[in-house]
Amino acid sequence: MSADTQTLKPVDLRSILTFTVKLARTAGTLILEGSQAIQTTSDVNEKKNSVDLVTEYDVAVEELVKSEIAKAYPSFKFIGEESYSSGTRNELTDEPTFCVDPIDGTTNFVHGFPFACISLGLIYQKRPVLGVIYNPFLDHLYTGIEGQGSFLTRGNSQPLKLPLTNPKPLPSLQKALLAIEWGSDRGKKTLVPKSDSFLRLAGDPADGIAGGRMAHSIRSLGSAALNISMVAQGGLDLYWEIGCWPWDVCAGIVIAQEAGGAVVGSHAALAAATSAGSSIDPFKVTPDVLTGRKYLIIRAIPDTLNETGREAQLRIARDFYQTVEDGEPK
Ligand code: LIP
């Protein structure tokens, strides 16, 4: 790292990635131990309601990670889901900041559904620059560094560059496999428009579903980070959620972007970026997008004779936001 300890160069990020991968695998061992233990105990606690779950392992993993980061990078800042839940509020600065979800997919973790992970993102100058997402149940490790690509390592295999195959065109939502999440806001004001949106995304417009797009299907992996990783690898065409948090998406944003994916914020952010005369990049992940709790991530799409891949991603984003209803996270 350069003399100015807060200036990160690409070589510094590669060194930080080596540390972060080792830390993710150490955390993964604790997650697996916890998964065994949690099946025989009832040590599952609730945050804002009965579906917003937290366990002693969420807290223990975050404490482990925070402690190891403080030892290795004492000048870096830290934002963590469970620290935030216990009242810590760290303002986003230009300083290198780890943004961590110790167990993303806690509900899956509690139920023994093997789609839970640790998500370790690094924010620098207020943008995500490094991401590590590790699912210890499947031994799937996703990594990405800004400008240096993103990869999936399965078990002891060699890292595979993302996306895993050459991306195919995406003519319309009708040809898309989508990821969404129910989230933990289950009141009428949130869930009715969300359900109506899902109905339109899946519904047949020729058979009673007004505005239906009849997408190929809809999936929910139960983890924002793993949904985004699946978009990055090309197994999903897009993922949309209102209500998750920066720690859920920070690492995944880097991994998806490095795989050619596009990250969009709110309906309003997209509308502003695409309004007449705007020079805003609709896919720039500003601090407002990163912290805005409204995320749409679209997989890499190749250039064709009629449109560039970026034009295609923008077409899909606009079509998608014309189909679903906006809302406000609680
Ligand atoms: C989860 C997110 C998911 C969201 C859930 C929950 P957690 O994170 O990954 O996208 O729908 O409500 O927030 O709580 O398991 O770390």
Residue nearest atom 10 in ligand 1 by C-alpha distance? 224
State the DSSP H helix or E strand holding residue 212, giving kind and residue range, or none if neither. Answer: none
- Supply the pLDDT for residue 43: 85
**How does pLDDT run across 298-323, given as a tens digit for each residue?**
999 999 999 999 999 999 999 999 99
The ligand 1 atom nearest the CA atom of 182 = 11
Q: Residue 288 — pLDDT band, cuts 50, 70, 90?
A: very high
- Supply the pLDDT for residue 40: 85
Please determine, for residue 4, whether its predicted confidence score (pLDDT) is greater than 50: no
Please determine, for residue 3, whether its predicted confidence score (pLDDT) is greater than 80: no
The tokens describing 209, both together, are 């579903």
Give burial (CB, 10 Å; 0-12/13-18/19+) of 3: exposed
**How does pLDDT run across 88-140, given as a tens digit for each residue?**
998 999 999 999 999 999 999 999 999 999 999 999 999 999 999 999 999 99
Residue nearest atom 16 in ligand 1 by C-alpha distance? 104
Comparison of pLDDT for 2 and 6, the residue scoring more: 6
Contact 101 CB / ligand 1 (< 6 Å): yes
**How does pLDDT run across 233-273, given as a tens digit for each residue?**
999 999 999 999 999 999 999 999 999 999 999 999 999 99
- Supply the pLDDT for residue 249: 98
Mind telling me the catalytic residues?
Answer: 81, 101, 103-104, 106, 248
Ligand 1: which of 35, 47, 111, 181 to mutate, judged by most atoms within 8 Å of the beta carbon? 181
Ligand 1: which of 219, 244, 296 to mutate, judged by most atoms within 8 Å of the beta carbon? 244
- Supply the pLDDT for residue 6: 72
3-state SS of the chain: helix, strand, coil percent to 5? 40, 20, 40
What spacing in Å lies between the alpha carbon of 81 and ligand 1's midpoint?
A: 10
Closest-CA residue to 99 (of 242, 210, 245, 206): 245
Average pLDDT over residues 157-180: 98
- Sort residue 144 into left (φ over 0), alpha (ψ -120 to 50) or beta: beta
Contact 104 CB / ligand 1 (< 6 Å): yes
**How does pLDDT run across 173-219, given as a tens digit for each residue?**
999 999 999 999 999 999 999 999 999 999 999 999 999 999 999 99
Instruction: Check if the beta carbon of residue 297 is closer than 8 Å to that of residue 151.
Output: no
- Supply the pLDDT for residue 41: 80
- Supply the pLDDT for residue 1: 54
